[in-house]
Homo-oligomer: A and B are copies of this chain.
Amino acid sequence: MRSDGLDPAQIDGLEDLDAASYRRALHEVADLIADYAESLPDRPVLPPVEPGSIAPLFPARPPEDPEPLDTILGDYRRLVEPHATAWNHPGFMAYFPTSSSAAGVIGELLMASLAQNTFLWRTSPIGTELETVVVSWFRQGLGLPEGFDGLVTDTASIGSLMALAAAREAAGLDAAQRGLPARSDVGEPRVYASAEAHSSIDKACMILGLGRDSLVHVPTDDELRLRPDALDAAIAEDLAAGRRPVAIVATLGTTASTSVDPIADIAAIAERHGLWLHVDAAYAGVVALLPERRETFRGWERADSIIVNPHKWLFTPFDASLFLTRRMPQVRAAFSVVPEYLRTLDRATPTRDMGEYTPQLGRRFRALKLWVLLRWFGLAGLRRRIEHHIWQAHELAGWVDTDPDFERLAPVPFSVVCLRWRPAELVVDTGDADVEAFLDRQNQALMEAVNRTGEVLLSHARLHGRFTIRVAFGNLRTTDRELAQVWALLREHAARLQRTPAAAAHAPVAARAGTGGR
């Protein structure tokens, strides 16, 4: 008996699956992935289950002994797949669709195969260097100048956090070293973004210790774009009060309505005050791959940092967010900590160690799936698909505009249509506020009724205080069939709605009762 208490037979059992069995298992999983993809159109987009009903299907206690792969995969088909929201379903039009293309999934599989962790050059030479290649390819594809360098991170949340952390250093706050509380000698920091900016900007201010109170929500115009005059006034007021402006966040393609902040005017203001300009183009930035549509983005090349998420509208499985910046040294200043065990000793050439530039030390090899994706589609292929999604949105917008019972609540600069039901013969027997409350309720009920069909999934927002149904194109699998279908479903279920506030007040809003069956 050895001192580890194992006999030789047990030691053999400690090794991983033998090569032949592993190959067989991988082929089994390949079929499972293919089966799931084929089954998607027949599944409901949102599983018809209630919160709390799934966990009890699994044992309360952890498994003590090993189980065969077939048992595990059987349970996967039976318990996991049916309870997943079908992000790759052709009818997924909620949030911003993240459809996984074949190329994107293959890229993920290769990432799993290679098992890189790209925090140092030596922990992944290819991971480090292919990342610079892919970042350069994107920079060129998006029409940005050579001064932009960058990296691939997980999410826009982290990308915006990185931008504001770097801005904090660039503003001379020395927060990374000395900390903010020590700085009673500087004014209270201020970050500016429109009221339509993504919640991740608020979150970044919270995390960075600037505080949510430091974020000035600059008013927007009637098309929900940040007003440069209001921005200018807010900065002037803060300066006069002794506060310390740090950064401006402009959004090109806001989450609720995809509105586009006037970036050239904002860049001029940032330059005048020497403020870090961060551009959140997480959703819409990919449109700059189309040279003929680049006018919308003119001025973003003056930004200090830009984020664009391939995992939103570029058919890349979550996660992959592109972070571009003209100021890599400031990013490094915000995040670099190099203890002895992370030093590279055995190379004469200086190495770029990516873990010095990011909040996380450990990093996935996300550049790999982007490399597969860019080669598979080519820029030309990506452009045609993006153009088609914009066309789909404009088709739907046209139908909404000509239907007397619907109205559009925002322009359609990209691929999202914001609409609501508002019957032409709306009987207004109460005050305006009541009418709006009535329309809010009915549109929520409408969206939920459409979602309960399982054919499509829509999400909502609130624009100018009104409940708004969002129909987001950008899913690779959404064909003209689903485009027609979502409009048909909206009209069909709208036709069943009560049309007078008084009548509706007595009818329960159906949705609260649950999701119903299929």
**Distance in angstroms between the alpha carbons of A360 and B22 in the assembled complex:** 34
Indicate if A506 sits at the interface (CB-CB under 8 A).
no
A511 touches B26 (CB 8 A): no
Question: Considering the chains assembled together, what is the distance between the CA atoms of A163 and B214 in angstroms?
Answer: 22
Q: A178-186, A299-307, A424-432, A486-494: which lies at the B interface?
A: A178-186
A377 to B66, CA, bound (A): 5
| A62 touches which of B121, B126, B137, B514 (Cβ 8 Å) | B137
CB of B177 within 8 A of CB of A206, answer yes
- Residues of B with C-beta under 8 A to A141: 62
Contacts of A165 in B (CB 8 A): 206-207
Known A-B contacts A112-B317, A362-B319, A380-B66; the reply to A179 vs B209 at CB < 8 A is: yes
Which A residues, 469 to 509, have Cβ-Cβ distances below 8 Å to chain B?
A: 470, 476-477, 479-480
Contact B460 A341 (CB under 8 A): yes
Complex CA–CA separation, A46 to B394 (angstroms):
52
A23 CB to nearest B CB, Å? 4
A337 within 8 A of B: yes
Given the known inter-chain contacts A64-B380, A161-B359, please indicate yes or no for A16 contacting B102, CB distance below 8 A. Answer: yes
Q: How far is the CA of A513 from the CA of B203 in the complex (A)?
A: 47
A16 to B475, CA, bound (A): 10
Q: Identify A22's interface contact among B52, B102, B203, B470, CB under 8 A.
A: B102
What DSSP secondary structure best describes chain A's contact surface?
A: helix
With both beta carbons as reference points, the residue of chain B lying nearest to A398 in the complex is identified as B3
For the complex formed by this chain, how many copies does it contain in all?
A: 2
A374 contacts which chain B residues (CB < 8 A)? 62-63
Complex: how many Å from CA A58 to CA B370?
14
A36 — which chain B residues lie within 8 A by C-beta? 113-114
A100 interface residue per 8 A CB criterion: yes
Query: Which one, B130, B182, B377, B470, contacts A54 given CB within 8 A?
Result: B130
CB of B359 within 8 A of CB of A203, answer yes
Q: Is A368 an interface residue (CB 8 A)?
A: yes
Report yes or no: B32 in contact with A30, Cβ–Cβ below 8 A: no
Measured between beta carbons, the chain B residues less than 8 angstroms from A115 are 87-88, 98-100, 105, 317-318
User: Are A32 and B110 closer than 8 Å at their CB atoms?
Assistant: yes
A174, chain B: closest CB distance, angstroms:
8
Q: Known contacts A199-B361, A361-B157, A364-B318; decide if A341 and B375 are in contact (CB<8 Å).
A: no
Taking CB as reference atom, which chain B residue is nearest A67? B375
For chain A, residues 27 to 47, give those with C-beta under 8 angstroms from any C-beta of chain B: 27, 29-34, 36-38, 46-47
Known interface pairs A140-B61, A346-B451, A347-B51; A199-B339 also in contact (CB < 8 Å): yes
| Contact flag A175-B209 (CB < 8 Å), given A113-B32, A317-B115, A479-B15 | yes
Distance in angstroms between the alpha carbons of A392 and B517 in the assembled complex: 55
A348 — which chain B residues lie within 8 A by C-beta?
50, 512-514
Inter-chain contact A124/B30, CB cutoff 8 Å: no
- A350 in the interface (beta carbon within 8 A): yes
Supply 7 A–B pairs (Cβ within 8 Å), ascending by A: A16-B315, A23-B30, A62-B137, A72-B375, A116-B318, A178-B212, A341-B460
Q: A85-B123, A181-B181, A208-B208 are in contact. List 18 more A-B contacts (CB 8 A).
A: A4-B388, A6-B391, A15-B477, A16-B476, A27-B27, A27-B30, A47-B125, A51-B347, A55-B130, A66-B375, A75-B375, A83-B129, A84-B114, A156-B362, A157-B361, A179-B180, A179-B188, A359-B359
